[in-house]
Structures are given as structure tokens and as C-alpha cells.
Amino acid sequence: GNSVTQMEGPVTLSEEAFLTINCTYTATGYPSLFWYVQYPGEGLQLLLKATKADDKGSNKGFEATYRKETTSFHLEKGSVQVSDSAVYFCALSEGGQGGSEKLVFGKGTKLTVNP
């Protein structure tokens, strides 16, 4: 079945450092790809998404490009802030029965940004 692999954490950076969190996927079709973020005590929030090859999703300074040739969707940010400390989840959507669209997630990567 479809699966998502993302880099193991935790990741600890200093403020203004460059961030990359790697994510690769295995899929039989053409899934949509997502990054979700979970801040402490909160639910999963959609950070960005890309629905087809070469699409770039971006939000709040984060970017990720859907690379079909390398089956990757790496998350990047040029200058992280303390407020970016959270757990980041890479996910793909695969077609569900009856019109639902379930998500397949990676394990999550905990990011801590120090002042």
C-alpha cells in the first residue's frame, strides 16, 4: 500500500537557521501531498499542500515541492523562529471508498527552535 517516510527527529535548531525535513513517499497512483503541523496541546493543522507533480506548496515561510521523479516532498524554511517549534507530519491522500479521502501519515518530526 501507499506509505510515507520522513526523517526521524528530534531536530533542534537555533533561531534563523535553515530547516529541511525530508519526506519521501510510495504510491501507486498520483496522490496529493501535505504537511501538517501540531503545536503543543493542539490538533493537526494543515501547513501546506501540493496536488500534482512540480507543484510548490507554501505557507508562513515554509515551502515544499512535489517531486515525482524522486517521490519526495521535503519541507524547507529559510529562517526558523522559536514559534515554529512543533511536530511536523508529512502525509498523502489516497482515494477512499464511497468518496472519502483518507490520509496516510509519516511518523512526525519534532522541531525545537532555541532563541
Partner 1 sequence: EPEVTQTPSHQVTQMGQEVILRCVPISNHLYFYWYRQILGQKVEFLVSFYNNEISEKSEIFDDQFSVERPDGSNFTLKIRSTKLEDSAMYFCASSVVSGRYNEQFFGPGTRLTVL
The residues that touch partner 1, with contacts defined as CB under 8 A, are 4, 31-32, 36, 41-46, 49, 51, 89, 91, 93, 95-108
With CA atoms as reference, report the closest residue to 11 among 3, 20, 2: 20
Closest approach, Cβ 69 to partner 1, in A, equals: 20
Minimum Å distance from CB 15 to partner 1? 27
Nearer Cβ to partner 1 (61/96): 96
Q: How far apart are CA 66 and CA 14, in angstroms?
A: 27
Kindly provide the residue ranges of all beta strands, DSSP E only, lying in the chain, ordered along the sequence.
3-6, 11-14, 19-21, 23-26, 32-38, 44-50, 56-59, 62-65, 75-77, 86-95, 101-105, 109-114
**φ and ψ at residue 98, rounded to 5 degrees:** 65, 20
Cβ-based nearer residue to partner 1, 45 or 81? 45
Half-sphere exposure of 83 (CA within 13 A, CB side): 2
In the complex with partner 1, the residue whose CB is nearer, 40 or 115, is: 40
Residue 31 C-beta: closest distance to partner 1, Å: 7
**Which of 98, 115 has the CB closer to partner 1?**
98
The CB-of-73 to partner 1 minimum distance in angstroms stands at 14
